[in-house]
Structure 1
């Protein structure tokens, strides 16, 4: 899962419950983490299988079950390496674990693991030329331009397709230059484009339908001095929040009794957009983000009171 999606899942879903308006327990955080990482592994496998099928078609070779199986194994290993690194970040860390996390969490580490495993399945060994090519190809694969939309900062990752195409091309050309021909450039470009399209489309859909989905937050607060109740409904990505809140404040004190009621209704308009550049679409932090944010409050508040004050004169 790209770092951009991971960060938004953590900040908007995993860490804090908007419905209950309080932080989630550690167990809940781990459960949400596990669910999103299982989703990530499945998505990476599907994207890798689709890329292998497209590459075989572009190369004009028969699509066999072995090709699909090798692609599935490679995708699963890459995504699992990222998931392990992310899981380690949730636990107390020591120096060896930090080193392991860094190794597995980077594109270089996960790509090398994937290439070594698949090469061993196909050739019975992992040629040095392929390992070197995997390291070099990890450079473009480590970058991802992300466009953020809405107050929930929903990430749109279609721009990463170009880096997947460039990474696939770099891998086959580097291996060829080192004397290990994998395939012509065109099938690699097609496979990279298909992988990037499947992965980017699905992760963007996740961002729009899960992170930036319509939300209704119920507000209910009671104290000795009054109460606040109502709800706030946000449209997709939080660009508009419709508010309907009633508050009651009790007037208490020597010679004073009664209460005042206020009703707040209307819409708050949010505008938040940004462009980010993230290094390493794994679990190691990194990135550069430029964003803008503005809000316009179009709510109105009306009130009534019933307060009695006794004045001794």
Structure 2
């Protein structure tokens, strides 16, 4: 069969909500884990407030991505879709979380940190993808792709700290930022790898070009004249 021309299964709405809740939990755990790692590597005391801010940042990232992916299934006007896609991009997510955390910690959002967020968003683009896409959609994801994203998370942390330093804000040593970024990527990365394995268990049937494709995310029916079975 020519799988390249097949549409992915239409995800069941309740399955999507379940995945979104699990992804939210994974990111809510990843935020405090990154904060704890940064405190440990830097030799700084770990506070409950710092852990709470880390959890809030993780929830914000996951929540925005889940909302935008859900909206994509509803069908939107082009202008609205472009706006949401921008918000859910690595640039939008990084700027949003930087502004959120800066306001909580500093009481303001320095432009230098926003610039650092924009630059750090470049290597973090692989991290800001939807739940379905992160699992590999129809065909399932690959563990090595998550390892690649893990490296990008570490690089993103390093770049952010470096750019913040250039802007006059020494938020933490570069190695601390890289370690925190890597640890943040471990928990969602593990979750997405499991999803990819589940999504990879795909079954398909075809009769005279009429096909049915099914995996854990849902079922897609359609017609492709190149499919004969």
When normalised by structure 1's length, the TM-score is: 0.56
Contact 2:116 2:163 in 1 (8 A): yes
1:181 paired with 2:170, answer: yes
Cα distance in 2 for residues equivalent to 1:111 and 1:100: 16
Structure with the higher fraction of residues in helix conformation: 2
- Structure 2 residue runs of 5 or longer lacking an equivalent are 1-6, 128-132, 206-229
Cα 1:173–1:216 shift into 2, 3 Å: closer
Aligned to 2:200: 212
Residue from 24, 28, 50 that aligns with 1:67: 50
Matches within 5 A, 1:35-50: 35-50=18-33
Cα distance in 1 for residues equivalent to 2:52 and 2:122: 26
Cα distance in 1 for residues equivalent to 2:140 and 2:54: 32
SS, match of residue 46 in structure 2: coil
**Per-residue CA distance 1:91-115 (angstroms, 9 max, x = gap):** 1311442132122220110111111
When normalised by structure 2's length, the TM-score is: 0.75
Q: How large is the RMSD of aligned CA atoms in angstroms?
A: 2.8
- Structure 1 segments, 4+ long, off by >4 Å, are none
1:170 paired with 2:147, answer: no
Return the index of the structure with the highest Cα Rg. 1
Contact 2:140 2:195 in 1 (8 A): no
Greater RCO structure (CA 8 Å; 6+ sep): 2
Cα deviation for residue 184 of structure 1 reads 0.6
- Structure 1 residue runs of 5 or longer lacking an equivalent are 1-9, 17-28, 220-313
Contact 1:49 1:68 in 2 (8 A): yes
Residue from 142, 147, 151 that aligns with 1:155: 142
**Per-residue CA distance 1:213-237 (angstroms, 9 max, x = gap):** 5x899x9xxxxxxxxxxxxxxxxxx
